[in-house]
Amino acid sequence: MALNSWALSGTWTVDADRAVAGAAAVKIAYQFHARDLHLVMGPETRGNAIRFRVLIDGKFPGSSHGLDIDEEGHGTVREQRMYQLIRQPGPIGDHAFEIEFLDAGVAAFSFTFG
């Protein structure tokens, strides 16, 4: 993918302001250039918890994990807010990001970067 491009895979419903996962095992991929990557998201139905896994450049994030995931890229969406997924130490470069939602029902709104 080209820099600043993104793609969805799996069953999604896309509206003007969000994309909602209609099944488990759906993904969002993004090619980015930044130190931090955040995603504003939340469960479509209040009270649900949606598990997810993040990869950077096809690998577990390790020391590049954000506050909302562990070193193996696992996290859970429990409320609508901005989730810090990647926080890289060292120099900024181009990277491939992927998030897979292990449960249906997440609403993804926008990426932000730092």
The CATH superfamily label for domain 6-113 reads Galactose-binding domain-like (2.60.120.260)
**Domain segments of the chain as ranges:** 6-113
Q: Which residues of 54-71 are buried (b: 16+ CB within 10 A; e: fewer)?
A: bbbeeebbeebbbebbee
**CA–CA distances in Å: residue 71 to residues 57, 60, 109:** 14, 7, 24
* Prediction pTM value: 0.96
Q: What is the pLDDT along the chain (114 residues), one digit of tens a residue?
A: 999 999 999 999 999 999 999 999 999 999 999 999 999 999 999 999 999 999 999 999 999 999 999 999 999 999 999 999 999 998 899 999 999 999 999 999 999 998
Q: Which SS3 state, helix, strand or coil, does residue 91 take?
A: coil
